[in-house]
């Protein structure tokens, strides 16, 4: 699962984007709009959740259960948690070295999310 496609904004710093009307429109949208040549938040979520469902179903067919572990970026976690639990789409942010345990009742229904702070060396 890939992170959000930033299109024309890929690899650019705030100083390069400040004053750009497309960037300002993105900011004014609360992060919902697509970047020029990139993805909207809703498009990212649909892609990420679709990929997750494909993997979980394949695992279930092959082994009888969807038990898996993933290492993904925070935006991917945000998309998955928003899909299952709703609420503010940006309210599911995780910090640096944070992750968690998502427990599902079924592929379609989540039971809980437990945030976990990883130990750093």
User: pLDDT tens across 56-86, in order?
Assistant: 999 889 988 767 888 888 889 999 999 999 9
Query: 87: pLDDT confidence band, cut at 50, 70 and 90?
Result: very high
Strand partners, 115: 100
pLDDT over 70, % of the chain? 97
Answer yes or no: is pLDDT of 121 > 80: no
Q: What is the pLDDT of residue 120?
A: 63
Domains of the chain, residue spans? 9-38, 40-121
């Amino acid at each position: 699962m890939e992170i959000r496609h930033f299109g024309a904004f890929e690899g650019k710093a705030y100083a390069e984007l400040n004053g750009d009307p497309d960037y300002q429109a993105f900011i004014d949208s609360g992060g919902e709009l697509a970047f020029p040549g990139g993805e909207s938040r809703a498009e990212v979520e649909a892609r990420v959740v679709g990929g997750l469902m494909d993997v979980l179903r394949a695992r279930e067919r092959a082994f009888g259960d969807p038990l898996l572990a993933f290492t993904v970026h925070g935006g991917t976690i945000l998309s998955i948690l928003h899909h299952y639990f709703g609420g503010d789409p940006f309210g599911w942010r995780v910090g640096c070295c944070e992750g968690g345990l998502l427990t599902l009742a079924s592929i379609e229904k989540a039971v809980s999310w437990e945030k976990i702070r990883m130990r750093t060396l």
